[in-house]
Chains A and B, each alone.
Chain A
Amino acid sequence: MIRLSINGKTHNVEVDPNTPLLWVIREQVGLTGTKYGCGIAQCGACTVHIDGAAVRSCSFPVSAAAGKRITTIEGLAQGKNLHKVQQAWLEHDVPQCGYCQSGMIMAVAALLKEKPKPTDADIDAAITNICRCGTFQQVREAIHAAANANAKA
C-alpha cells in the first residue's frame, strides 16, 4: 500500500512500487489529464509537480512519490479560478490537438514559480516538451503573457 497526496487529496493505492507514477495517476487514481507520450522522459507529456517541481512522471517510480505533494493538471486551478498559465493558454488559443498541453502547462507553471519573468533564453532552456502540432509560437507568447499577469498580481 502506497500513500499518495495528489491535488490535496490522499490516495492509498495497492500497486507494484516500481510502477511509474504516471500510470498510477492515470489508472489507479483515475486522473487522465496527465498523458503518456514516450515512457522514457523524452517528450514531457506526463509532466506533473512533485513538491512544486516539474517531474516527468512516466520515468518516476510511484514509491519515490510517497509522502510528497503531487499536483496534476487537474489540480492546478484554485477551485473555479484557472491558474494564470491556463488563463494565458485560453487567451492565446494555444492548443491544437492539445494532447501535449497538460505537460506543457505544468512545465511552464513550474518555470514561472522559479523565474516569474523568464527571458526567451530561460524558456528555451526550461521548456523542452515535444509538441508535434507545433504550437511553440503561441506557447512562447502565452508564457510571457502569464509572466506579465504575474507581475501585475
Chain B
Amino acid sequence: MQMNRRTFIIGSAAVGGGLALGLRLPFGPDVARAQDGSPEVGVWVAIAPDDTVNIRVVRSEMGQGTITGLAQLVAEELECDWSRVRIEYPTPGESVKRKRAWGDFSTGGSRGIRESHEYVRKGGAAARVMLVQAAANQWKVPASECTAANSVITHAPSKRRTTYGKVAEAAARLPVPQDVALKDPKTWKLAGKPIKRLDTRDKVNGRMVYGIDLNMPGMLNAAIKACPVFGGTVKSYDAAQVSGMQGVRKVVQVGDDAVAVVADTWWQAKSALDKLPVVWDEGPNAKVSSATIAEVLKAGLDADQAFIGNQNGNAKEALGGAAKKVEAVYAYPFQNHACMEPMNITARYTPDKCEVWGPTQNGEGAFAAVLAASGLPAEKVDVYKTMLGGGFGRRGAYPNDYVTQAVLIAKQMPGTPIKLLWSREEDMLHGRYHPVMQCRLTGGLDANGNLSALHMRLSGQSILAAVRPQVVQEQKGRDPLSFQGVFESGEHAFTYDVPNLLIDHAMRNTHVPPGFWRGVNINQNAVFMECFMDELAEAAGQDALEFRRKLLGKSPRALGVLNAVAEKIGWGKPAPKGVYRGLAHLKAFNSYVAGAAEISVTDGNKVKIHRIVGATDPGYAVNPAQIERQVAGSFVYGLSALFFQECTVKDGHIEQTNFHEYNSMRIAQMPKVETVLLPTGGTVWGGIGEPTICVAAPAVLNAYYRATGKRIRSVPLKNHGIELV
C-alpha cells in the first residue's frame, strides 16, 4: 500500500475496480484530476487515457453495497465500460474547497442511493454529453450525429470512432451541462441488474485495508479506557506504574473522562492499560440500573404529557365505547451495534495540519469532529476514509466519540501518527445504544370485530434529543424519529387506516447514550405494532392476514408486499406438521416491507426458524443481488437482537463486555431467506439496508405464539429461556 499526505490507495488495483481514496487537489494548472492523474469530466467522473473510469462516491461502503450501486447508476448514464470502473472517495476537505460539489457524505438512514440517485445519474449523463461533444469537436461534426456506448464514441456517417480515454482531456475543458435528460429506468442495461460488487477480490485475499490495518511511518498505537459509568470522569491515574513496560511511550488523559496508553504496538498499549491504576469519579449516575430505568419508563406509560406522533378521530373516547378492549405492554432493551471491526481511527496533528484516516459513516461528521478537537480551521483539516468493518449506525457522527479521542491524543504527541483502537470490551461499554423503550397498546373492537380505536403509548429514550437536539427543539420537544413506522406522514408513515387513533411518546431519557442502530426505531415499533395486530386479530376471532388487509385499504403498496409474503409462505394453506407461521409488515425509509416466517418449537423453548420470506417495494431496485443480501443480512442482525441481545445497566455502566455475553447468530441458526422484490416505480425511492430488519422479529414472535400459545412481549428471548437452534 502506498500512502502520502493527501492520498493513498486501498488494496491492489483489483480486476473490476480498486478503491482509491482522495483526489489530487487542489486544482492543477488546468483541470481538476483524479488520484491517478486523470482529468475530471464533471465532478463525478474522471477518465484516464487508458479508459479507466474513476467514479466518485462520497457515501461510505460498510458492506451494504452502496459504492457498487451508486457506480452502476453513474455508469448507466455515462455509457462506459463497466469492467474499467474504479471507485474514488473524495475527502470532506476537498468537498469544503469545492462548495460541497458531491453533496451529503452521511451514510445512514438507508439514504446512500435513495437520496443521491438523481444527481449522480445526472453526473454520469453530463460527463457522457461532454465526452461526445469533445469527440464531435475534434471531428467537426454535430454531436447529435455521434453515439456513445461502452466507453466508445462513434460517428456513424463517417465511420469514425474514438474512446472516452482519448477525448477526456478535451472533454474536461468543456462546460458541464446543467440540464441533462436521464434514461427511463425501464431502459437500464447496467443499473437494475444483479451484477457483482466492485470490492470483493481484496476481501477474499486479506488485502482490503480497514482502519484497523493502517500503518504509517513512525506511527504509534493507542489503547483507551473511558469511565465505565457514562458521565463519570477521571479522578486520577498512576502512569508511573506502567510507563516502564515494554513499548510504552506515553500515558495520556483524553478529555475529562478517558485515559489512553500510547505504545509501539497496540498489544503493548492494551497490556499496559490493563495494568494502569485509574480512579474514577463516577458522577451522578453510579446508582442507575436497568431496574431503575424500567421504573421511569413504566411511569411514562401513564403520564399525562406525551408528544403526539399520529392522531385522528378520538381514540380515548372511542376506546371507552368499544365492544371489546384489548391491552398489552411491550418492552425493548438497549442494544450495542457490535460491528466486527471495533471503533478505531488514526490521527496525526501538527499546528499546521490535522488529518485522520479510518472508518466513518459520515466523512463530513468526522471532519467536524476533527475541526472541533484540533481547533484548526477547515483548510488545515481533512479526513480519509477506509473500508468499514461494519457500521450499522455506530460509525455515524456522535459527539466526543472515537474521532475526537484520537485527535485529543495526537495533539499531545504532535507530528506522530496515532492509531487509536478500542478493545472489544471498550466497544461494548461505550456504544451508542439502541434506545430503550416500553409501549402500552390499547385497542377497541366494535361489535363486528372491526378495529375502531387504537392507542399506542411509547415511553422511553429519544435518540435525537441526545444527538440532534436542534431537531427536537424545532419540533417543540417532540422527537419525530421515535414514531418511525407509525408516524403521521412521510417516509415512516403508518399504513393502517384506523378511525380513532392516537400514537404518542412520553420521552424518558437516560444517561445511557443512544444512537442510530440499523433500522433505528422501526425495530421496536414493528414488534409493538405488528405483534399487537395479531393480538387484536385473535380477540376479533379473525385471521391475522385478513384482519390486516381490512385496515390497509388506503395503502396498496403495503398490501402488495403483505400479500406477496403471504402467498410465498403459503398462508391459508396447511403448514408442514409442527411448523407454525407468522407475518408482519411496515413502511420504513420510504420502502414498504413485509416478512413471513415458518418456525417449529421443541420442548417449548427451542426455536428453529425454517424459512423467512422477505418482501420489499423500494420503488426502484438498483442491484437485486445486493438487495437479496441486504434482506438476508438484515434478518441476521434483527434476529440476533431478538434472541440474544440486551445491554443491561448496573451501577451506571453496561454489564456485557464481549460476545460471550452478547451473542450473535451463527450459520447453524440461519434460516432459509427468500426475497421478493416488488419495485413499483414512482417518484420516491426507498431505502434498502434497514427497512426489512424490522419484520423478522414480529413475524417470528407471531409464529411462536401460534406454536406455543405464549405471547412474548419483551426482547430478548433469552430472558424467557427461549433458544434459537
Query: Which positions in A face B, CB cutoff 8 Å?
Result: 16, 19-20, 23, 26-28, 30-40, 42-43, 45, 72-74, 76-77, 82, 86, 89-90, 93-102, 105, 123-125, 127-140
Contact = CB atoms under 8 A, between A and B. Distances in A.
B633 A36 contact: no
A90 B221 CA distance: 33
Contacts of A20: 267
B667 A140 contact: yes
B340 A99 contact: yes
Interface stretch (B21-29, B46-54, B118-126, B202-210): B202-210
A27 B664 contact: no
B318 interface: no
B424 interface: yes
Contacts of B201: 90
A123 B667 contact: yes
Contact of B659 (A33, A73, A76, A130): A130
11 contacts: A19-B267, A33-B205, A35-B212, A35-B341, A37-B659, A38-B424, A43-B659, A97-B340, A99-B389, A133-B633, A136-B666
Nearest to B209: A32
6 nearest A-B residue pairs (beta carbon): A33-B206, A134-B636, A97-B63, A99-B389, A98-B203, A96-B63
Given A99-B389, A133-B390, A139-B667, A73 B629 contact: no
Given A37-B424, A43-B659, A134-B635, 20 more contacts: A32-B212, A34-B206, A35-B341, A35-B389, A37-B659, A39-B424, A39-B658, A42-B658, A74-B206, A95-B197, A97-B388, A97-B391, A98-B200, A125-B668, A128-B666, A132-B390, A134-B632, A134-B633, A136-B632, A137-B632
A59 to B, nearest CB: 12
Contacts of A73: 205-206
A27 B267 contact: yes
Interface in B630-680: 632-637, 640, 658-660, 664-668, 670, 672-673
B332 to A, nearest CB: 19
A97 B213 CA distance: 14
Contact of B206 (A16, A102, A128): A102
B617 interface: no
A98 B660 contact: no
A97 to B, nearest CB: 3
A131 B341 contact: no
Contacts of A127: 666-667
A36 B392 CA distance: 18
Interface in B325-378: 338-342
B197 to A, nearest CB: 6
Nearest to B265: A27
A129 B666 contact: yes
A36 B659 contact: no
A56 to B, nearest CB: 12
B664 A130 contact: yes
Interface in B667-696: 667-668, 670, 672-673
A31 B199 CA distance: 20
Interface string B180-209: 000000000000000011011111111111
A128 B392 CA distance: 22
Contacts of A135: 629, 633
A32 B635 CA distance: 30
B127 interface: no
B637 A132 contact: yes
Given A43-B340, A132-B392, A140-B670, A97 B664 contact: no
Nearest to A121: B668
Most B CB contacts (10 A, CB to CB) among A39, A72, A128 go to A39
A137 B390 contact: no
Most A CB contacts (10 A, CB to CB) among B205, B266, B271, B633 go to B205
B270 to A, nearest CB: 9
A67 B566 CA distance: 59
Contact of B65 (A96, A130, A134): A96
Contact of B667 (A30, A89, A96, A124): A124
B405 interface: no
A28 B636 contact: no
A132 to B, nearest CB: 5
A132 B631 CA distance: 13
Contacts of B664: 43, 130, 132
Contacts of A31: 206
Contacts of A33: 205-207
Given A23-B265, A42-B659, A133-B63, A101 B670 contact: no
Contacts of A72: 206
Given A93-B625, A134-B632, A134-B633, A36 B342 contact: yes
Interface in B250-309: 265-267, 271
A74 B209 CA distance: 13
Contacts of B672: 137
A23 B266 contact: yes
Most A CB contacts (10 A, CB to CB) among B423, B625, B666 go to B666
Contact of A38 (B389, B632, B633, B659): B659
B215 interface: yes
A133 B338 CA distance: 11
Contacts of B202: 98
B62 interface: yes
Given A42-B659, A130-B659, A133-B390, A96 B206 contact: no
A135 B271 CA distance: 33
Contacts of B392: 132
A27 B246 CA distance: 15
Nearest to B210: A99
Contacts of A74: 205-207
